[in-house]
Amino acid sequence: MHEAMEQQTISISKAGINASLRTRCAVLAAANPKAGRFQPVSEVPFTGQINLAPPLISRFDVIWLLTDEPSEDKDAKIAGHIVDNRLSGTSELLVNEGSRPDPRKLSSVMTKPSHTDGHLHREFIRKYVAYAKRTVHPNLDEEAKKHIIDYYVSTRKQSGEFQDSVAITARALEALARLAEASARIRLSETANIQDAERAVRLTKTWRYDLMGENFDETAIASNQKGKARHAERSILDIVDRLSANGEGFAQLVDVLNEAERLDISRDKAEEVIDKLNQNGRLMRPTGYDTLQIV
């Protein structure tokens, strides 16, 4: 998946055959949170709560966060939709017995879409999308290009709470361009204009705000850690490094905890970070539990 989404190809080497296959297609992925529900109050960002590698997540143009929040109106609509689908469906048991025809094998005749209920026929939508993808290849005009660049530059100026926070990366430029081109393609236009660029920026702002709020941190997606957690790790490592230089090549645990408290890192939090750094192999205990050394 990584190569397919980054290079638009898949390399195959088997039985002496080396081939590179094109993979120019849209990728839609869905992932459930590891704990069953997303945990908003956590040192792990939302994208780190699913079983997808950060480099792979960062290559998606849009990331929608769906949370299960109780809402009387929304819950009633969802429940009604599920029940209606069940009542209007055909039992799989009856299909296997031959008592009822298989709806998947019924020939669907393409007819003129009815606008009486405000919905288009499913087959019409499929053919429309297929036609647009095959025949329409829009390019950004100068005004649209300038709007995307201006949004990127203004977002880069936003500095987060911590020094290593990055609001947006250059990879987002291609995502914005693809979204703008998709907006033009759905209109069957060969030119993506300022309205398409504005729509792409508006869509990007929406999912970014829903995911992380005003202070979007691109580094959190790449590291699976929020800025506060990264700051605590960096501070602990700096403390151990400084105390090790002044001592016998290692630092005493009690001294590290005392220095961490001076930086507003609680004792429990500091011990948690130290244990994690030991598990990751970035710290070691050279002479026992009470000493620390950077690996």
Concatenate the DSSP letters of all residues of 235-294 into one string: HHHHHHHHHHHHTTSSEEHHHHHHHHHHTT--HHHHHHHHHHHHHTTSEE-SSSTTEEEE
- pLDDT (mean) for 48-60: 83
- 178-204 residue pLDDT tens: 999 999 999 999 999 999 999 999 999
CATH code for the domain defined by 138-223: 1.10.8
Q: Is a pLDDT exceeding 80 seen at residue 222? A: no
* φ, ψ of residue 30 in degrees (nearest 5): -130, 140
**Cα–Cα dist 210/154, whole Å:** 20
pLDDT of residue 116: 52
Question: Count of residues for the chain?
Answer: 295
Answer for the pair 178, 61: CB distance below 8 angstroms, yes or no: yes
Mean pLDDT for all residues in the chain: 84
pLDDT of residue 22: 87
Answer for the pair 168, 156: CB distance below 8 angstroms, yes or no: yes
**Cα–Cα dist 11/14, whole Å:** 10
- 128-181 residue pLDDT tens: 999 999 999 999 999 999 999 999 999 888 765 666 678 888 888 999 999 999
- pLDDT (mean) for 58-66: 87
**Cα–Cα dist 33/61, whole Å:** 20
- The answer for residues whose C-beta is within 8 angstroms of residue 18's C-beta and 6 or more apart is 11, 12
pLDDT of residue 163: 63
* φ, ψ of residue 251 in degrees (nearest 5): -115, 150
Answer for the pair 139, 176: CB distance below 8 angstroms, yes or no: no
pLDDT of residue 110: 47
- CB-based burial label for 236 (10 Å; 0-12, 13-18, 19+): buried
User: What fold does the segment set 227-294 form as a domain?
Assistant: Arc Repressor Mutant, subunit A (1.10.10)
Q: Is a pLDDT exceeding 90 seen at residue 89? A: no
| R_g over Cα of the chain | 26
pLDDT of residue 190: 95
Taking the CB of residue 105, how many other CB atoms lie within 10 A of it?
A: 7
* Dihedral, 124, 129, 133, 139 alpha carbons, nearest 10: 120
